[in-house]
Amino acid sequence: MNLGTLLIMTALLDGSTTSGVQVADGIVVETWASDPMLVDPVAFCIDEQGRVYVAETARQERGVEDTRTQPYWNLDDISLQTVEDRLAMYEKWAHRRSDGMNHYTAYEDRIRRLVDTDGDGRADLQTVFSGGYNDPLDGTGSGVLVHRGDVYYTNIPHLWRLRDRDDDGVADEREALLSGFGVRIALRGHDMHGLTWGPDGRLYWSIGDRGYNVVNREGVRISDPTSGAVFRCEPDGSNLEVFHTGLRNPQEIAFDDYGALFTGDNNSDAGDEARLVHVAEGGQTGWRMEYQTLDGVNVRGPWVQEGIWKTAHEHRPAWVLAPVAHVGNGPSGLVHYPGLGLDARYDDHFFMCNFSGTPEHSQVKSFAVEPDGAGYRVVDVHDFASNVLCTDVDFGYDGRMYVSDWVEGWYQAENGRILTIHDPRHVDDPRIAEVTTLFSGGFDSLTDDRLTELLEHDDQRVRLRAQFELASRGPQSIGSFVRMTGSGSPRLARLHAIWGLGMIARGTEDPEPAMRPLLSLLLDDDREIRAQAAKVLGESGWSQCAPDLVELIFDPEPRVVYHAVMAVGRLGHGEGIDAITEMLWSNDDRDLHLRHAGVMALFWLDDPEALLALSRDEFPAVRLAVLLALRRSGDPAVSSFLQDSDPFIAAEAARAINDLPIDAAMPALADQLERFSSPASGTSMRDAPIEDRTALLRRALYAGQRIGRARDAAAIADVALLESNPIGMRREAVAVLSDWREPSVRDRVNGAHRPVVGERDVEGWKTVLARALPRLVQSEDVELATSARALSGKESVALDDSVTWSILEDSEADLRERVACLTQLHSSSGEGDRAIRSALDADEPVLRGAALRLLADDRPQEAVEEIADDLQRDGISLRQHAIGVLGTIDSPRARTMLKDLFGQTRTGELPTALHVDVIDAFDGQEGETPDMMRSLAFGDDPLARYRSAWVGGDAERGRELVLYHSGAACVRCHIVEGRGGTSGPDLGEVADRLDRAALLESVIDPGSVVAAGYGDASAMPEMIHLLDPRDVRDIVEYLATRR
């Protein structure tokens, strides 16, 4: 017996490893497999013989990257359009890695097959079913699904189909069915997941916000590099289409008993919450990957600023569907209960893995959904199993739940388990034994009559497989399905029969024989039968059923109306537009799913003349639906809605023009600035809700900057001057003017990569500044006035020097404004030297530091003398600013002073609060002596530079880092100021628990001490790869205030 076998046997015999998993009394948890038999399991599936296929990863931050730890390529990342672009980006930045491009190929992801050969409830045989997934473009292998010998595997950039012809546990065929997924990096783990079968016989799966640019098998390009989505295709990869988009990081997806699809989608660590999403066809959830790196006053862009992540609320953007509810904080695996093995409570329930980085705060949650109008609500949310770091969950054909356990942390650690959970009271249920026999024996040998009987089975998987097999036999099965659709059959059996007829219709040139029997079901007493019959008829392409579907639009049940409207639109039945319009105005935007159905129908009808007529409809709900349909086609006609009498519709038009974008409509959007530039304007939005005003104005300001005419600059300045405008937008207007010469390549609203091209009127802009800035610097809003004054100094715009001097010399004035006054006087008056002297004499550290920087630029030797004086004084802040300026001066004396200061950090002569400043300043020194000094001081210890960062920080800046730093993402795991995650300790009173030294240690070496109740190992990533010593010092300073 070799060592590897001994280790595996030891792990399997250790039943105590499941003791920490908490379940209800009477429920049994057992270890089915454990490392080293499997390691780092991301997802798994179970084949018809009960064998488990595990998707394992070894490439996290070792080939599969994360923009939070490589911020240097962020601007490149958000510009990528194809997977080939991503490869070129890797090559561009390969010099940042010690092993160059080899970094991406050193480790591989793989699929491992596990088998319980002796039936004792423990796996005892493993093979690497398929490996070698280590191409630089490969992502995390995150989805695996087995179906009749085909193993589907999602690993960016491909959807793979694998086959093991000789059944030796190793795939001998590998085919990329589709390619082009994963255009961008985004965040680690935002890969392709969630393979499952839909009730229509198609393959469905999800992708996170790494985007896609795929040419499907029919030659159609399907592209969106900015967001996550759910796709579907035929089993052979044909007819790929996007089913739902705008997702952030959907992992698993699952259908309920009635054919509705759901997924869990994660939060962005900015106070938003994870969401349960109804994956409606054609639906948009509203996320785009560029939001993740938007911080500050526009943190996460419209996602947070306009409440896209929230459930339904009054001013929610209309182009997105609201989530059903907020469930969990780290949704991962998701499965629908098939119907056997547990108590009746769990009928039509879902089970979702909630992965939070530590077992103590992770669970398998259970919940159900109920119809709520045309949409859904969540009920019965509770923990089914807790204290397990679960990544995926599924049900075996043996009646047991299987759960993959990551064991600890966020990164691979060569740990992993597969657990089973079962209720002993149901283990001997003969129906479970029947399920096992059916799947192990196969369905292809069963008769039509037997398959028809199985449509009534209590197990959802049996019903589905029987449906698939019958449908695969073609038109000969129509009679069997039709008989089962009768009212005497069980409800779920009738639904499967309807779906089976739909599969036959889709696979034949003439859908009528399979579809005509469904017409009578449109009048059925059961609302679900009516709804699903309408849905299937609409997808069939059989146009003769359209008049019957139009009548169904007036059904009293919202779900029936939803599917009828979608069906009429899909069939392109223009005669149904009046019924659709009537539904829209009678709904009056109350049911968002009904509005969505109306929008999709109008979009599919593709009748520009009809839409033009409806754009003038008296009912706002109709006009809004027309606008949203035009948005889907990117039609510049949306600009006509900018002047709509309903400000919500006007704001929605602005969203469409800027956020898509629709470039041809951009001038019209910029022209809306006139509505915010004068209180006398006849089309002023002064009385509109602030949410609508802000949404329109923010985008109009950016449109004006992009177009770059003098009149646009003038209108932007007038927005800043008009006091009735929202103060945030007045500040934004000044920021837009400040960025006029060389606008950022990023969209100021949503962060998209949108370089401004073409000529800009700089002279006209200067004229505007000369008119507006003298008035703006007088604003009572300090931030606005300071920004205006800084701009005037930067562009040498003359101001009233007497006012500027009075502010500079006023010790009670806001410090930011005093610094701006100093800069302005230095650049635009003839008294720059006097201004510097005044600021130096003020003895205020920040102001004196600003003066030193100006002096260092003008007369560096004088600055050195001033700095030498400061270093002899007592104030820590004063000396910190002086040291920072010293590091910018290139002179022999400055270099000598820095060497002396660096030496004092080693001897202890210098106060610890100054060490970080000296180390930062000394980093700019080059040469043999500085290099030797740094080597002696720090050696090979990566933490050495951080050891002094426990005192001397800026608490205000530290707060901003804790709340908004996209890389560190503290609020992902910690509650801070009332918001954040729970997988790490609450930071509300952390200073009462830890002194400064311990606070520093918890940031730079989180694994050294783990807080009680948070497991044996820290899930917190190493912050030294994300934060520099100054960042850490400021964070510690802020945390020290949390009492």
DSSP per residue over 759-828, as a string?
A: ---HHHHHHHHHHHHHHHTT-S-HHHHHHHHHHHHHTT----HHHHHHHHT-TTS-HHHHHHHHHHHHHH
Residue 141 lies in a domain: yes
Residue 13 has pLDDT above 60, yes or no: no
pLDDT at position 1017: 61
Q: What is the pLDDT of residue 16?
A: 35
Report how far residue 284's alpha carbon sits from residue 813's, in angstroms, rounded to the nearest whole number. Answer: 49
What DSSP letter does each residue of 47-80 carry, written as one string? -TTS-EEEEE---BTTTB--TTT-GGGHHHHTT-
Examine the domain organization and report whether 916 and 1002 are in the same domain.
Answer: no
Residue 644 lies in a domain: no
Q: 460-515, pLDDT tens digit by residue?
A: 999 999 999 999 999 999 999 999 999 999 999 999 999 999 999 999 999 999 99
How many Cα atoms within 13 Å fall on the side-chain side of residue 104? Answer: 19
> In this structure, are 209 and 78 located in the same domain?
yes
**What integer is the mean pLDDT of 174-192?**
96
Task: Among 133-147, 634-648, 677-691, name the one with the lowest average pLDDT.
Answer: 677-691
Element (H, E) at 705: helix 690-707
Residue 88's domain spans which residues? 3-285+321-426
Q: Are residues 895 and 967 in the same domain?
A: no
Q: What pLDDT, on a 0 to 100 scale, did the predictor assign at position 1016?
A: 64
Q: Band of the pLDDT at 1027, cuts 50, 70, 90?
A: confident
State the alpha helices, DSSP H only, in 455-490. 460-472, 478-484
pLDDT of residue 357 exceeding 60, the answer is yes
Q: What percent of the chain has pLDDT over 70?
A: 96
Residue 589's region, left for phi above 0, alpha for psi from -120 to 50, else beta, is left
Quick one: pLDDT at residue 316? Answer: 95
- What is the reported pLDDT for 1018? 63
The single residue listed with the structure tokens 């004084």 is: 873
Domain-located, residue 755: no
* Residues 960, 931 within the same domain: no
Q: What is the mean pLDDT of residues 956-968?
A: 82
Minimum mean pLDDT range among 99-108, 153-162, 934-943, 987-996: 934-943
CA 555, 557, 562, 563 dihedral sign is negative
Cα dihedral 756/758/764/766 (nearest 10): 50
Above 80 in pLDDT, residue 553?
yes
Lowest-pLDDT range of 48-62, 441-455, 918-932, 940-954:
918-932
Mapped onto helix, strand or coil, the DSSP state of residue 564 is: helix
pLDDT class of 979 with cuts at 50, 70, 90: confident
Side-chain-facing half-sphere of 716: CA atoms under 13 Å: 36
Q: Which among 615, 561, 559, 614 has a CA at the least distance from the CA of 583?
A: 561
Residue 874: per-residue pLDDT: 87
* Residue 709 burial by Cβ neighbours in a 10 Å radius (0-12, 13-18, 19+): middle
**Ramachandran quadrant class, 856 (left: phi over 0; alpha: psi -120 to 50; beta: rest):** alpha
The sign of the CA dihedral 835, 841, 847, 852 is: positive
| Pairwise CA distance, residues 615 & 608, whole Å | 10
At 17 the pLDDT is 41
Interval 751-762: pLDDT, tens: 999 999 988 999
Q: Is residue 115 in some structural domain?
A: yes
Query: Stretch 174-188: mean pLDDT, rounded?
Result: 97
Task: Write out pLDDT tens, residues 789-819.
Answer: 999 989 989 888 888 898 889 998 888 889 8
Residues 1008 and 876 grouped into a single domain: no
Q: pLDDT, tens digit, for every residue of 682-708?
A: 566 878 999 999 999 999 999 999 999
The CA distance from 209 to 245, in Å, is: 10
Instruction: Examine the domain organization and report whether 83 and 120 are in the same domain.
Output: yes
Looking at residue 681, its pLDDT comes to 64
Q: 923 and 1032: one domain? A: no
Single-letter code of the amino acid located at 1010: V
Is residue 1007 scored above 80 in pLDDT?
A: no
Q: What is the pLDDT, as a whole number, of residue 648?
A: 97
Which range, of 305-319, 455-469, 898-912, averages the lowest pLDDT? 898-912
Has residue 856 been placed in a domain? no
Mean pLDDT, the chain, integer: 92
Cβ neighbours of residue 803 under 8 Å, at least 6 residues apart?
777, 778
Q: Is 403 helix (H, G, I), strand (E, B) or coil?
A: strand
Do the beta carbons of residue 183 and residue 150 sit within 8 Å? no
CA distance 649 to 635: 16
Q: Quick one: pLDDT at residue 18?
A: 61
854 vs 981: which has the higher pLDDT? 854
Q: Among 426, 452, 485, which residue terminates a domain? A: 426
Q: What is the predicted pLDDT for the residue at 284?
A: 98
Taking the C-alpha atoms of residue 761 and residue 707, their distance in angstroms, rounded to an integer, is 9
H helical segments located in 265-328: 302-305
Looking at the structure, do residues 963 and 1030 belong to the same domain, yes or no? yes
Q: DSSP per residue over 989-1035, as a string?
A: THHHH--HHHHHHHHH-TTSS--TTS-SS-----GGGT--HHHHHHH
Pick the last residue of a domain from 426, 455, 472. 426
Residue 105 placed within a domain: yes
Which pLDDT value is given to residue 8?
36
Question: Distance between CA atoms of 563 and 282, rounded to whole angstroms?
Answer: 13
Identify whether 184 is part of a domain.
yes
- Burial of 338 per CB tally in 10 Å (0-12, 13-18, 19+): buried
What CATH number is given to the structural domain containing 1018?
A: 1.10.760.10
Shared domain for 913 and 989, answered yes or no, is: no
How confident is the model at residue 680, as a pLDDT? Answer: 65
Task: State mean pLDDT over 542-551.
Answer: 97
User: Is 905 in the same domain as 985?
Assistant: no
Is 383 within a domain?
A: yes
- 311 pLDDT above the threshold of 60: yes
CATH of the domain at 138: 2.120.10.30
* Those residues with Cβ within 8 angstroms of residue 9's Cβ, 6 or more apart along the chain or in another chain: none
CA nearest neighbour of 31 among 412, 403, 582: 403
Extract the tokens encoding 847: 């102001």
Same domain, 878 and 1007: no
Distances (CA, A) of 555 to 680, 687, 881, 1043: 49, 39, 72, 59
| Mean of pLDDT values over 435-452 | 97
Residue 2 has pLDDT above 50, yes or no: no
Which residues sit opposite 385 in a β-bridge? 23, 364
Q: What is the pLDDT of residues 224-251, one digit of tens each?
A: 999 999 999 999 999 999 999 999 999 9
Dihedral angle computed from the Cα positions of residues 651, 652, 658 and 662, in that order, rounded to the nearest 10 degrees: -130
Domain count of the fold of the chain: 3
Domain final position from 426, 458, 474: 426
Residue predicted with more confidence, 287 or 807 = 287
Residue 475: is the preceding peptide bond cis (ω within 30°)?
A: no
Same-domain pairing of 236 and 374: yes
